[in-house]
Amino acid sequence: MTHYDFLCIEGNIGAGKTTLSKMIAEEFNARLILEQFEDNSFLPKFYEDPDKYAFPLELSFLAERFQQLKAELTAHDLFRSFTVSDYFINKSLIFARSTLKDDEYALFNKLFSIILPNLPKPNLIVFLHAGVDRLQQNIQKRGRVYEQKIMDEYLLKIQDAYLAYLRTQKDMKVLIINTENIDFVNIPEHYTKIKEIIFSDYPIGITRFSI
């Protein structure tokens, strides 16, 4: 059923990308790459004072993501069918564009362009799209203390930045799935449907689905 070497599940904060990545990896015996954001000491500080900590946060995330992906994607594992990740390295650029000042972003973009060619591109990027209210419900439900003060405006800003960036990608396959009215964690039929959508064939560019 699978025809990917490298699959990325993306989405806004609280979209369910990590959960879905874990479910797919378990079912298909795939290598799983999960972002280690909870180890980033700048993250709680950023939510308290974004202007002060945005630049060190984005730089530290970029370094951590690159190191992790470089190590994982260059290591061969004959016992895994493919690799699924709950993030796409380009999310560093997306978040940086939303949080940094223009001069900081210009520097960040230079650094990003240096490291990007050293990583393989995913065969498919899946973006889980949900409204801000749904995202906030999920954020509150999982109960991470440092996320409880995330504002609707910030989530909307990140969502808009993701979609704007994905629209510019002309050489990758991008699948945007509206997950507003589904619960793939607790309703097996919803998981089956989203799985069928992901493992279908798509052309280069953006394809959209609502379930």
Give phi and psi for 13, each to the nearest 5.
Answer: -60, 125
Give phi and psi for 117, each to the nearest 5.
Answer: -65, -10
Distant-in-sequence, close-in-space partners of 61: CB < 8 Å, separation ≥ 6: 37, 40, 92, 95
Residue from 5, 49, 86, 171 carrying the catalytic annotation:
86
d(CA 112, CA 46): 21
**Order of strands across the sheet with 205-210?**
31-33, 83-85, 6-11, 124-129, 173-178, 205-210
Is 86 one of the annotated active-site residues of the chain?
yes
Residue linked to tokens 């996320």:
147
DSSP reduced 3-state for 152: helix
Q: Which residues are catalytic?
A: 86
